[in-house]
Structure 1
């Protein structure tokens, strides 16, 4: 299950980067902010997974 979570987090981070880039390219500040939020969310989830791995 952890591998699935890690892959999901990586995909979410890449999607966030794509949204942020699209927002910058089109001047859409809301999309850009949403992309940054997705990236932050993925990073927080990754840290949680890393902590769980330490305690296994």
Structure 2
């Protein structure tokens, strides 16, 4: 996994966590859902990149 990909995934995860917490604090379910989606995408991307790294 390249450094740029790692940074992008980390940024997406942090952004998702922030959206989730802000949505929870403001009772904004849509923002909270967006945050959870961003976190899931970042986790999926990281898993895919980890598999690519293992395969070669």
Q: If the length of structure 2 is used for normalisation, what is the TM-score? A: 0.95
Equivalent runs, 1:39-54 vs 2, <5 Å: 39-54=39-54
> How many residues matched?
56
| Structure 2 gap segments, 5+ residues each | none
Query: Counterpart in 2 of 1:5?
Result: 5
| Structure 1 CA distance for aligned equivalents of residues 51 and 3 of structure 2 | 14
Task: Give 4+ residue runs of structure 1 displaced > 4 Å after superposition.
Answer: none
